[in-house]
Amino acid sequence: MSTQNLSGKVALIQGGSRGIGAAIVKRLAAEGATVAFTYVSSTAKAEALQNSITGNGGKALAIKADSADAEAIRNAVTTTVEAFGRLDILVNNAGVLAIAPLEDFKLEDFDQTLAINVRSVFIATQAAAKHMTEGGRVINIGSTNADRMPFGGGGPYAMSKAALVGLTKGLSRDLGPRGITINNVQPGPVDTDMNPASGDFADSLIPLMAVGRYGTADEIASFVAYLAGPEAGYITGASLTIDGGFGA
């Protein structure tokens, strides 16, 4: 049962049309927030998500924006504020995962990993902070791979998620005096279309989990909703792991 903790708040989720992002959009809307979210290519999924929220009496806006494009990110922030009059919560969920042996890893994939997984977080936070007031929330979606990468080929991805740890700590010093918190959520393996809970890859990861299963997108979304809410005002600069014991 929804507590409506976020009633009157406006949230922007960067990368919100599917998987963990879509679960976050739905959860924040259920908590009473007005939600805007960006997407790149999943137009049908984005429109369906928007319509599912507005059809239930909520307010939602899907915004097409490539998180590798700095101007598109800034425009998404501006569009949100123009549509809803304010911005209280930013969730930086956009991300890419490129895996390849060291000798085969393409430099363009390395650059894209940094652009979307790290650079877009800084750009969106910089733009959103201009509109936030006391009680504002920034929540980055990192990965437990910042602390543990148990297979080859994922070095650049692990690096990008480790970079969020430092970025979150540093930005907490900029935002804290203004009453705005920023935190980094680090999921472990989560059942999404990008990383399904069945198949050879999952079979190699599940034995590493203390709870013996993948997480669900809804479990991550519930954690994000808590950090976005009024009870989390004393948590900032933190990297908080929700990984079923993957890193234990």
Residues with a known catalytic role: 157
Q: Which residues, including other chains, have CB under 8 Å from residue 180's CB and lie 6 or more apart? A: 129, 132, 134, 135, 136, 137, 138
Report how far residue 173's alpha carbon sits from residue 204's, in angstroms, rounded to the nearest whole number. Answer: 39
Q: Are 76 and 14 in contact (CB under 8 A)?
A: yes
Number of other CB atoms surrounding residue 49 within 10 Å: 24
78's tokens = 């501006």
Output the six-digit token pair for 191. Answer: 């059942």
Q: In this structure, which amino acid lies at residue 162? A: A
Q: How far apart are CA 207 and CA 119, in angstroms?
A: 33
Write down how long the chain is.
248
Calpha distance 34→81 (Å, rounded): 11
Measured CA to CA, the distance from residue 18 to residue 46 in angstroms comes to 8
Q: What strands, in cross-sheet order, belong to the sheet with 137-141?
A: 60-64, 34-39, 10-14, 89-92, 137-141, 181-187, 239-242
* CA–CA dist 81, 128 (Å, integer): 9
